[in-house]
Amino acid sequence: MINLTVNEQPVTVPEGTTILQAVRAAGVELPTLCYHEGLAPYGACRLCMVTITAPHHGLVASCAYPAEEGLMVETHSPEAVSARRLALEFLLSRCPQSEVIRELAAQEGVTASRFGTPPPERAEELCVLCGLCVRVCREAIGAAAIGFIGRGMERRVGTPFEVQSEACIGCGACAEICPTNAIKIEDRGNERILHTWHTTVELHSCPECGRYFAPEPTGFLKDMFPEIENLWALCPECRRQRTARQWIEQEHTRAT
The piece of 24-32, 103-111, 141-149, 219-227 that touches ligand SF4 (CB under 6 A) is 141-149
Whichever of 47 and 169 has its CB closer to ligand SF4, that residue is 169
- 203 touches ligand SF4 by CB under 6 A: no
Which of 91, 137, 235, 238 is the binder for ligand SF4 (CB under 6 A)? 137
Whichever of 71 and 141 has its CB closer to ligand SF4, that residue is 141
- 146 touches ligand SF4 by CB under 6 A: yes
Q: What are phi and psi of 211, to 5 degrees?
A: -75, 135
Per rule CB under 6 A, count of chain residues that contact ligand SF4: 15
- 45 touches ligand SF4 by CB under 6 A: no
- Please give the residues from 158 up to 177 whose contact with ligand SF4 meets the rule CB under 6 A: 168-174
Beta carbon of residue 186, minimum distance to ligand SF4 (angstroms, whole number): 12
Give the side-chain half-sphere CA count within 13 A for 36. 18
Beta carbon of residue 86, minimum distance to ligand SF4 (angstroms, whole number): 31
Task: Calculate helix-pair angle for 78-94, 99-107, nearest 10 degrees.
Answer: 160
**Bridge partners of 51?**
59, 74
Report how far residue 202's alpha carbon sits from residue 227's, in angstroms, rounded to the nearest whole number.
19
Give the side-chain half-sphere CA count within 13 A for 18. 20
Question: Amino acid identity, residue 70?
Answer: G
Which of 33, 50, 143, 178 is the binder for ligand SF4 (CB under 6 A)? 143
Listed residue (244, 245, 242) closest to 234, CA to CA: 242
Which of 197, 233, 234, 238 is the binder for ligand SF4 (CB under 6 A)? 197
Whichever of 92 and 145 has its CB closer to ligand SF4, that residue is 145
User: What is the dihedral sign for C-alpha 174, 178, 184, 187?
Assistant: positive
Report how far residue 130's alpha carbon sits from residue 132's, in angstroms, rounded to the nearest whole number.
6
- Please give the residues from 80 up to 109 whose contact with ligand SF4 meets the rule CB under 6 A: none
User: What is the dihedral sign for C-alpha 233, 238, 242, 244?
Assistant: positive
Could you tell me if 79 and 12 are in contact, meaning their C-beta atoms sit under 8 angstroms apart? no
Whichever of 88 and 168 has its CB closer to ligand SF4, that residue is 168
By the criterion CB under 6 A, which residues form the site for ligand SF4? 136-137, 141, 143, 145-146, 168-174, 194, 197
